[in-house]
């Protein structure tokens, strides 16, 4: 029988994987890897905001990520290169967040836990937040799947089909914000982007349809989460990085497999 903390860790990892896998497919299809990095790094500023205002970390991270998305959208429309904006927000958000957290009076913050995750410390309340967030993300993707997929394939086709591509982009951004907020406890700000991208990239050569790729990405992420927790427990290694290392190993295996015609 597994210890309670391992059971909670496994359930937390599964919850994040089930949401991050399908969402990561859109990140890969749209080549938004850097956006995922910027979002995850800026999450630390959300933590600082939550501590300063005495609100929940989930709410603080969600608010900062949504402001980031709106800022990128608005400034890019004024001609500022998107990659430049994402670079500024990624590193600036991470740096400012670390500085603010260190300056908060009386705040006891585990910076390593924020950066690399602390899945073994997940409690029942954390589990409820993770699974509620995962369910909301999966529901959003299922509800808007056709519109999101069409807008991803071709913005002109989306407009011709009566689909508001900008609205679909905002829905995708909201889903990304939710995943970042719930995954912070599991893998930390520095590794969230990896859990979005690596499982989707791993199964891409194996999938025949977008739907099958989303399902396989969720399964791959779940396998990485459970395998990483087991390996971390046996080898006494940091759990968040170990989960990502297992996901990367799965990607390496996928990369060397012969491609089907």
Return the closest-CA partner of residue 197 out of 181, 179, 209, 212.
179
Say if CB 42 and CB 65 are below 8 A apart. yes
Contacts of 18 (CB under 8 A, 6+ apart): 134, 138, 218, 221, 222
- The total number of structural domains that make up the chain: 1
Judging by beta carbons within 10 Å of its beta carbon (0-12, 13-18, 19+), is residue 90 exposed, middle or buried?
A: buried
Average pLDDT on 207-214 reads 93
**Is 222 contained in some domain?**
yes
The whole domain housing 229 covers 4-255
**Is 260 contained in some domain?**
no
Judging by beta carbons within 10 Å of its beta carbon (0-12, 13-18, 19+), is residue 144 exposed, middle or buried?
A: middle
Residue 106, sorted as left (phi over 0), alpha (psi -120 to 50) or beta, turns out to be left
Judged by average pLDDT, the poorest of 15-24, 37-46, 205-214 is: 37-46
The pair of three-digit structure tokens given for residue 211, joined into one six-digit string: 């739907």
C-alpha 232/C-alpha 242 separation (Å) is 6
The structure's pTM equals: 0.86
pLDDT number for residue 79: 75
**Is 225 contained in some domain?**
yes
Q: What is the pLDDT of residues 94-135, one digit of tens each?
A: 888 878 877 777 666 666 777 777 888 888 888 888 899 899
C-alpha 177/C-alpha 260 separation (Å) is 35
Q: What is the pLDDT of residues 125-168, one digit of tens each?
A: 888 888 998 999 999 999 999 888 988 887 777 778 888 877 88
- Give 3 or 207, the one with higher predicted confidence: 207
Contacts of 7 (CB under 8 A, 6+ apart): none
Q: Would you say how long the chain is, in residues?
A: 261
C-alpha 184/C-alpha 129 separation (Å) is 11
C-alpha 147/C-alpha 159 separation (Å) is 10
**Is 219 contained in some domain?**
yes
Say if CB 226 and CB 56 are below 8 A apart. no
Q: For residue 77, give the CATH number of its domain.
A: 1.10.3470.10
Return the closest-CA partner of residue 196 out of 178, 216, 179.
179
Contacts of 62 (CB under 8 A, 6+ apart): 46, 177, 178, 181
**Is 172 contained in some domain?**
yes
**Is 261 contained in some domain?**
no
pLDDT number for residue 81: 79
3-class DSSP assignment, residue 109: coil
Contacts of 106 (CB under 8 A, 6+ apart): none
**Is 134 contained in some domain?**
yes
**Is 51 contained in some domain?**
yes
C-alpha 170/C-alpha 99 separation (Å) is 29
> What is the chain's percent helix, strand, coil content, to nearest 5?
85, 0, 15
Q: What is the pLDDT of residues 57-88, one digit of tens each?
A: 778 888 888 888 778 777 776 777 777 877 88
pLDDT number for residue 1: 40
Q: What is the pLDDT of residues 18-30, one digit of tens each?
A: 999 999 999 889 8
Residue 2, sorted as left (phi over 0), alpha (psi -120 to 50) or beta, turns out to be beta
pLDDT number for residue 257: 76
């Amino acid at each position: 029988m597994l210890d309670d903390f391992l059971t909670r860790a496994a359930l937390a990892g599964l919850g994040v994987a089930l949401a991050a896998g399908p969402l990561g497919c859109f990140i890969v299809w749209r080549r938004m890897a850097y956006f995922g990095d910027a979002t995850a790094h800026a999450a630390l500023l959300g933590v600082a905001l939550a501590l300063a205002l005495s609100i929940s970390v989930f709410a603080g991270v969600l608010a900062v990520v949504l402001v980031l998305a709106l800022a990128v959208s608005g400034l890019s429309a004024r001609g500022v290169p998107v990659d430049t904006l994402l670079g500024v927000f990624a590193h600036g958000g991470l740096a400012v967040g670390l500085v603010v957290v260190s300056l908060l009076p009386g705040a006891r913050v585990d910076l390593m836990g924020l950066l690399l995750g602390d899945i073994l410390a997940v409690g029942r309340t954390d589990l409820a937040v993770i699974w509620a967030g995962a369910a909301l993300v999966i529901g959003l993707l299922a509800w808007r799947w056709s519109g999101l997929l069409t807008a991803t394939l071709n913005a002109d086709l989306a407009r011709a089909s009566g689909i508001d591509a900008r609205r679909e982009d905002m829905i995708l951004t909201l889903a990304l914000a939710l995943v970042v907020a719930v995954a912070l406890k599991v893998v930390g700000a520095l590794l969230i982007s990896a859990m979005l991208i690596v499982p989707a990239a791993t199964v891409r050569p194996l999938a025949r349809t977008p739907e099958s790729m989303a399902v396989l990405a969720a399964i791959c992420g779940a396998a990485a989460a459970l395998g990483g927790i087991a390996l971390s427990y046996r080898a006494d290694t940091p759990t968040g990085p170990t989960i990502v290392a297992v996901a990367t190993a799965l990607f390496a295996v996928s990369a060397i497999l012969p491609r089907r015609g």
